[in-house]
Amino acid sequence: MPKTPELPPYVERVFDLVDRIPPGRVMAYGDVAEWLGAGGPRQVGTAMARYGGAVAWWRVVRGDGGFLPGHEREALANYREEGTPLRPDGGRIDMARARWWPPEDSTAE
DNA sequence: GTGCTGACACAGG
DNA sequence: ACCTGTGCCAGCA
């Protein structure tokens, strides 16, 4: 087994989903939790906070499209690079266009 | 088992 | 736009 850094069961699940988010798209913490069908947005956030360095954390935002605390500059740089639809003010994501959802077939991977 | 914490969401002021 | 309180639930002391 390559590397299973003893991640909590929830974290591993979150990471798998975040890894599916294509460039130029984002998912809200609540969306991730909802797709997983368990827990809530807080668990997703906590998971990222502790182990987020292993995934594209910038592709996970708040329901309002707000960036992550402490990494706004990093997130914004990635959004511009991947072409994520940003709002005119440039300080938020245009969730109306950026919000993404995985194909249901992806559940059977 | 109990209680607090927390990359959140929502409602109210 | 802002702040406050409440609900949510996994993780940890």
Q: What is the pTM of this model?
A: 0.89
Q: Which nucleotides of B are covered by protein (CB under 7 A)?
A: 6-10
Rounded distance in angstroms from the CA atom of residue A29 to the C1' atom of nucleotide B7 = 9
Q: Is the CB of A68 under 7 A from strand B?
A: yes
pLDDT in tens, chain A (109 residues): 554 456 788 888 888 899 999 999 999 999 999 998 888 899 999 889 888 888 999 999 999 999 888 888 889 999 999 999 999 888 899 999 999 998 877 765 5
For A46, how many CA atoms within 13 A lie in the half-sphere containing its CB? 10
Rounded distance in angstroms from the CA atom of residue A34 to the C1' atom of nucleotide C7 = 16
Q: How many whole angstroms separate alpha carbon A18 and alpha carbon A107? A: 13
Q: How far is CA A17 from the centre of its chain?
A: 8
